[in-house]
Structures are given as C-alpha cells and as structure tokens.
C-alpha cells in the first residue's frame, strides 16, 4: 500500500512538473510569436554578424598560399621594381593575355588572381575574408530577397529574415571554408565570380519586372557589362549563367515580348564573353598537357543528376533540416499573403534540379570528377537557394488551394515551430561536441587556444627568411600549430614539389623546402 501511495505521489509530481514546463514553454512561445517580423529581422542580422566576427578576426592571421604565388609572381616583381600600381596592373593584364594563349581562357579570373593584395603587402591577407564574405553574402542576400519579393510575392521583412537565416546557416556548414573565405586565388575564381553572377541575375530580373523605362535601361546596361565579366570567369558559373539567361529569355517570349530586350542584351554580351572563354587557344594547349580525361557530353549530363542527389544528401545535415523547419511557418505565412498564383510547382522543381545538376557538368566533362572543394562552395549555396525557392513555391501552391493536413498543421502551430527550432538551432550550434563542426565555433576556438597566433608568428618568421637576400638556400620549420579552417597544403621536404617551386620562384631563391626532422 505504501509503495502504491509513493507511485501516485511520483506520478502526481511528474504531471505537475510537465504541466508547469508546458505552460512555461507556451508562455514563452506566445511572447515570441508577438515579436513583429521587423524586429525578428534585426535579431537575425545581429546573429549573422556575430557569427561572422570570429571568421573575420581569424582573417587577421591569414597568409598567402598555394596558387597565390604562381599567379602573382610577375606582378610582385613589377611592384618591387617600380612601386607603381598602374604598372603592376599592366603586368597583370599582360600575363593574363599570355595565359589566354597558353594555359586557360578565364580572362577575368586570371587577371584578378594576378592582383593578389599580398603582392603589394604581405600582411594584407586579412582583407581577403572581408572581400569574399562581403561580396558573396551581399549578392546572395540581394538575389534571394529579390526572388522572394518580386517572383513569389513575399513581403520585405519576411524575405530579409529568411535570407539572413540562410546566410547564417551556409557560413556555418560551408563545404570548404578555407577555399571560400581565406584563399584569395580559389575564392576569387569561384566565390567572387559567382557573386558577380548573382548581382547580374538580380539586375536582369529587376529590369524585366521594372515598370519604369529609365530603370529598365540602366539595369539592363549594368547587367550587360557584368555578364561579360561572368563569361570570363569559371566555367561552372558561366554555364549556369547561360542556362538561366536562356530560360529567362524563353519566359519573356511567352509572357511579355516587350521585355525581351532586357534579357536578350545581357544574354548576347554574356554569351560572347563565355565563347571567348571556352574557345581560348590556351584551353587546347592545357588539355594536351593535362592527361585528365573527362566523360562524354551525354554521360556528363547524366552523371550530373546522380552527383546532384549525392551532394544534396551530404549538404542536408540535421542543422540544415532544423533551419528549414524553422522557416516553414514563415514561408507559409508569407506565401499565404502573396498575390502570386503558384500554378506550376512541378516545373519550378524540375527547373531548380536541372540548374543545380548542370553545375556538376563542367568538371565531369573536363576532368571526369566532382568534389573540388572550391567549386562545391558555390554549388552548395545554389542548392540552399533552390531549396528555399522550391519550398516557398510549393507552400504557395498549397496555400491558395483547399487546406490539406500540412496546411492545417502550419495554421495551427503558427510561429511556435519557428521559435522551438530557432532555440534548438542555437543550442546545437553553441554546444556542439566537435568544436570544428561549425566554422564560427572553430574560428573562435583557434583564436582562444592560441593556434592562430602561433601559426601567424611562424608564417611571418618564414616570410622574414624569404625576403632576406642573403639567404638563397631556404629550409623552414613545419608549422607547430595551425587553425582547423586553414586547411591548405604546406611545403614539403622535396624541393622539387610544385608548391616549393612556386615559393622559390616568387622569392627568387635557389631552393625552398621544409627542414628534415
């Protein structure tokens, strides 16, 4: 009898405790649901900025590396000889034209890569993450917000909140942080050029949807110039640009022929630039020297869809799923208020899948492989944009028809799921067991434990040796510490290694290598 009484007491205590917790959570949710979306945008912006601070602070300890030496050598020599920025720019363009004839056709990327800031001041590597994050985050925000507002009919504050959370999520799970944030050469070729394309696409779309003739003309001319720049960049972005501009042109022909020129002119200039890129004599020279053999065109396309599925699974961890669930009620509310019709969800989904898969095609065709880290960064962001756009479109489709189970569920929970998932996301982000899982936490860890400071001090010791004209046979010590985000290849004990040779030629030494233990 006593045991029965104790069980009842325990049961009653448990029910009281769970009831109190439920009421507390309900009150917190109700309070948070009353927060206006404008204030939520401010909170999201603060969270995003806070997450970037460790990444930018870590940039203080960034250094020159890998292809930065090969592409910047002649510009560095010109700068040391003349001290003239204009002469250095001329040298960069001259080298660019030589590359166009003998190595690769990416005439814009090669020019920009030659103008590495560290050619002019070695300690200037801290500006690289500012440039790359600034360009990519801004262009992604502008494009994503434009699509949500102009094409899907979402309001300004809601669109801003969604894009800020997507950017926060992306920079925490970015496939290759070093290649996309800190490495000048790799980030310029892909992150920077994809940013230019995002701005171009936003300008074309804004011109197409503009009601003012003067604004149409200005935006179209801006897009036409930017399209040439995009055409001279990496082939992944260039092919993506061609596909999307053709799709927009078809859409203009079907829906509003008076606006064809707003898409047609950038498509024309971009296609000319892209043809100049792929038809460069240097591409043929390089293909003869490089034994890599890609797949046929048809096989490359088919394999692109397979690899798109593989990488979509890879880029959808629990953290991403929680953010997606958090945004579902917001997107449901926004699309419910939209005046768009959302009549073609299947076509939109198919189009998004094709655009994403097409980004895997160039490397499959050229070298028969995927998974190049610096390329994957831009594909990953396009994937997240496609997920949000397709999700919003399907929710809009369901929202403007008879409510099904999903609609009734989202109507009932309102913002509670957003609040719960937002808190859960923060807990996972801050309390992750492996402190290198998320980039901001990893950067903060490297700053706090001194890895970054130790690494930078040793890098500067190497640099002092490199610039000492009395030392021609260079042997340097391996790094004793290095931040996890700085995942670049280092020198080896083999003086004939390609990276050792690049450093040797850059500083005009007899040889450069790591000292033997």
pLDDT tens readout for residues 187-225:
999 999 999 999 999 999 999 999 899 999 999 999 999
Of residues 194, 197, 195, 215, the one with CA closest to residue 206: 215
Confidence of residue 370 (pLDDT cuts 50, 70, 90): confident
174 or 29: which leads in pLDDT: 174
Rounded Cα distance between 465 and 37, Å, is: 56
Structure-block tokens of residue 354: 């094709």
Confidence of residue 22 (pLDDT cuts 50, 70, 90): low
- How confident is the model over 90-130, as pLDDT tens digits? 999 999 999 999 888 899 999 999 999 999 999 999 999 99
Confidence of residue 35 (pLDDT cuts 50, 70, 90): confident
- In this predicted structure, the answer to whether residue 158 has a pLDDT above a threshold of 80 is yes
- How confident is the model over 440-474, as pLDDT tens digits? 999 999 999 999 999 999 999 999 999 999 999 99
Distant-in-sequence, close-in-space partners of 121: CB < 8 Å, separation ≥ 6:
none
Q: What distance separates the 2 farthest-apart alpha carbons in the chain?
A: 98
- Percent of the chain residues past pLDDT 90, beyond the cut: 73
Confidence of residue 66 (pLDDT cuts 50, 70, 90): confident
Burial of 278 (0-12, 13-18, 19+ CB in 10 A): middle
Mean model confidence pLDDT for the chain: 90
Three-state SS at 513 = strand
pLDDT at residue 421 in the model? 86
- How confident is the model over 399-433, as pLDDT tens digits? 877 666 666 666 666 667 888 888 889 999 989 88
pLDDT at residue 282 in the model? 86
Min mean pLDDT across 24-38, 92-106, 310-324 is at 24-38
- In this predicted structure, the answer to whether residue 147 has a pLDDT above a threshold of 70 is yes
- Render 327-384 in DSSP notation, one character per residue: HHHHHHHHHHH-------HHHHHHHHHHHHHHTTHHHHHHHS----HHHHHHHHHHHH
Q: Report the pLDDT averaged over residues 4-28.
A: 63
Rounded to whole angstroms, what are the CA distances from 260 to 243, 251, 254, 263, 266?
A: 16, 9, 10, 6, 11
Strand partners for 474: 512
CA-only gyration radius of the chain, Å? 26
Cβ 120 vs Cβ 79: under 8 Å: yes
pLDDT at residue 295 in the model? 83
Q: Report the pLDDT averaged over residues 385-395.
A: 95
pLDDT at residue 366 in the model? 77
Confidence of residue 20 (pLDDT cuts 50, 70, 90): low
Q: pTM here?
A: 0.91
- Render 156-201 in DSSP notation, one character per residue: HHHHHHHHHHHHHHHHHH-S-HIIIII-HHHHIIIIIHHHHHHHHH
pLDDT at residue 433 in the model? 86
């Amino acid at each position: 009898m006593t045991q029965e009484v104790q069980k009842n007491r325990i049961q009653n205590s448990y029910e009281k405790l769970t009831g109190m917790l439920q009421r507390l959570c309900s009150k917190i949710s109700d309070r948070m649901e009353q927060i206006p979306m404008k204030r939520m945008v401010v909170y999201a912006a603060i969270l995003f900025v806070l997450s970037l601070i460790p990444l930018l602070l870590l940039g203080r300890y960034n250094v020159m590396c890998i292809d930065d030496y090969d592409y910047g050598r002649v510009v560095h020599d010109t700068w040391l000889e003349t001290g003239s920025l204009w002469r250095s720019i001329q040298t960069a363009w001259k080298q660019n034209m030589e590359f166009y004839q003998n190595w690769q056709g990416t005439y814009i990327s090669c020019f920009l890569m030659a103008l590495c800031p560290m050619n002019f001041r070695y300690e200037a590597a801290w500006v690289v993450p500012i440039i790359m994050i600034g360009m990519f985050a801004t262009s992604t925000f502008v494009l994503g917000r434009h699509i949500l507002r102009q094409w899907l009919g979402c309001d300004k504050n809601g669109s801003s909140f969604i894009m800020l959370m997507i950017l926060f999520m992306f920079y925490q799970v970015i496939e290759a942080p070093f290649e996309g944030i800190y490495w000048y050469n790799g980030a310029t070729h892909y992150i920077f050029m994809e940013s230019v394309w995002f701005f171009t696409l936003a300008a074309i779309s804004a011109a197409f949807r503009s009601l003012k003739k003067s604004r149409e003309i200005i935006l179209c001319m801006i897009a036409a110039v930017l399209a040439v720049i995009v055409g001279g960049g990496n082939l992944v972005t260039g092919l993506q640009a061609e596909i999307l501009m053709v799709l927009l042109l078809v859409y203009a022909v079907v829906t509003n022929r008076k606006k064809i020129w707003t898409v047609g002119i950038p498509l024309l200039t971009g296609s000319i630039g892209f043809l100049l890129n792929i038809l460069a004599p240097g591409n043929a020279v390089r293909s003869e020297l490089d034994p890599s053999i890609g797949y046929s065109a048809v096989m490359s396309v088919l394999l692109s869809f397979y690899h798109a599925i593989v990488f979509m699974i890879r880029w959808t961890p629990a953290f991403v799923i929680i953010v997606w669930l958090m945004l579902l009620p917001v997107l449901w509310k926004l699309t419910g208020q939209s005046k768009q019709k959302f009549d073609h969800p299947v076509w939109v989904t198919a189009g998004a899948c094709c655009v994403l898969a097409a980004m895997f095609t160039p490397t499959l065709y050229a070298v028969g492989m995927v998974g190049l880290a610096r390329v994957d960064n831009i594909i990953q962001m396009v994937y997240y944009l496609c997920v949000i756009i397709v999700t919003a479109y399907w929710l809009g489709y369901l929202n403007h028809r008879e409510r099904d189970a999903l609609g009734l569920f989202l109507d009932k929970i309102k913002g509670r799921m957003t609040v719960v998932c937002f808190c859960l996301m923060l807990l996972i982000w801050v309390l992750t067991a492996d402190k290198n899982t998320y980039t901001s936490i990893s950067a903060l860890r490297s700053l706090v434990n001194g890895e970054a400071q130790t690494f930078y001090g040793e890098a500067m010791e190497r640099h002092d040796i490199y610039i000492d004209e009395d030392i021609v046979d260079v042997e340097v010590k391996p790094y004793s510490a290095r931040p996890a985000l700085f995942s670049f290849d280092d020198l080896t004990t083999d003086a004939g290694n390609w990276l050792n040779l690049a450093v040797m030629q850059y500083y005009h030494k007899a040889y450069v290598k790591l000292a033997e233990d």
